[in-house]
Amino acid sequence: MAIRFDDRVAIVTGAGNGLGRQHALALAARGAKVVVNDLGGARDGSGASSEAAEKVVEEIKAAGGQAIANGANVADYAQVEAMVAQTKEAFGRVHVRINNAGILRDKSFVKMPIEDFEAVVKVHLMGSTNCTKACWETMREQNYGRIVMTTSSTGLYGNFGQANYGAAKLGLVGLMNTLYLEGAKYNIRVNTISPVAATRMTEDIMPQQILDLLVPEAVTPAVLYLASEDAPSKVILSAGAGSYARARIYETGGINLAAEDRTPENIAAHFEAISDEAGQKDYADGSGQGNNLLGKAAKALGIKLG
């Protein structure tokens, strides 16, 4: 069955260029009314212009869709609240939120001004938090919401010179994990895309031959799936060059040490067993870790839990 967004209202941030533009165009092509948000700043977050967002709106309208432009700075909660108010005034509801806006200020950690760290965290992590918070109550009231965060391989696995970006991007996974739990009974599903695409964020860090493979439109189908009515929840979906994979956070089963054996030397001696992947699990929530560790301790002491 075709995935459609008829009668759905979607807000896409950072939608004037690259990935966000593709997301907005595709949502509109499948029936959504789209708010094209873009501050119109440079890659480092400086400056502002409504030109890019307006052009995307023109493209959507020319194709027969419905869209409005918005220039809110996602790092400013008052502006984000005004964007949601504008959306509801124009279209009545907010059903889909794609948190895509971001900036880069790459430097090795030793050379990175703390202001650059704060700026990147403010846009990526707090910007996505602001945008989600501003429409959360509406989604709860209407018993429907689809939210897609944008993480990165830098956040999941690390990348030299991007401590600020990596910290912010992994923070979004933590935000998803909790919002998934809090939104479940209100039919709010929260997922995360981890894209690899040729955008202005990556144009000077990859060779052209690779950039030609990494078209942004190859990522968008994964985003639309994560934002669809029958979407899963709490999924990290990697996408790039037409390839798709699921990323998970696992924890090994681990071991238990008796009180007299709890020394750093014994941790070192048993580190291979602690690291054994045979019993690893993907926990549904944070209690899984505690239950595993406490359960091992109780078993070692002959205590029956529950």
Q: Where exactly are the structural domains of the chain?
A: 9-247, 259-301
pLDDT at 71: 96
pLDDT at 208: 80
Query: Which residue, 196, 52, 39, 21, is CA-closest to 122?
Result: 39
Report the alpha-carbon angle 211-214-215, nearest 5.
Answer: 110
Active site residues: 165
Query: Which residue, 49, 226, 72, 57, is CA-closest to 149?
Result: 226
Polymer length in residues for the chain: 306
In whole angstroms, give the CA distance from residue 260 to residue 24: 60
Q: Where are the alpha helices (DSSP H) in the chain?
A: 18-29, 51-62, 77-91, 114-121, 127-142, 153-157, 163-183, 208-211, 220-226, 264-269, 271-274, 287-301
Give me the residues paired with residue 5 across strands: none
Distances from the Cα of 136 to the Cα of 29, 50, 165, 215, angstroms: 25, 26, 25, 31
Query: Which residue, 156, 48, 157, 176, is CA-closest to 103?
Result: 48
Tokens 């609240």 belong to: 81
Distances from the Cα of 225 to the Cα of 27, 76, 148, 151, 305, angstroms: 11, 29, 10, 16, 41
Torsion of CA 139, 152, 178, 185, to 10 degrees: 40
Q: Beta strand 33-37 with 66-70: parallel, antiparallel or unpaired?
A: parallel
In whole angstroms, give the CA distance from residue 169 to residue 200: 18
Burial 226-243 (b: 16+ CB within 10 A, else e): bbbeebebbbbbbbbeee
pLDDT at 202: 59
pTM higher than the cut 0.85: yes
Q: Is-contact 222 245, C-beta < 8 A?
A: no
pLDDT tens for the chain, 306 residues: list them.
899 999 999 999 999 999 999 999 999 999 999 999 999 855 655 555 689 999 999 999 999 999 999 999 999 999 999 999 999 999 999 999 999 999 999 999 999 999 999 999 999 999 999 999 999 999 999 999 999 999 999 999 999 999 999 999 999 999 999 999 999 999 999 999 999 987 655 566 667 877 788 899 999 999 999 999 999 999 999 999 999 999 999 999 999 999 999 999 999 999 999 999 999 999 999 999 999 999 999 999 899 886
In CATH, the number for domain 9-247 is 3.40.50.720
In whole angstroms, give the CA distance from residue 257 to residue 266: 8
The secondary element (H helix, E strand) that includes residue 146 is strand 145-150
Taking only Cα atoms into account, the Rg of the chain, rounded to an integer number of angstroms, comes to 21
Query: Which residue, 163, 156, 147, is CA-closest to 108?
Result: 163
Contacts of residue 207, defined as CB under 8 A and 6 or more positions apart, other chains included, come to none
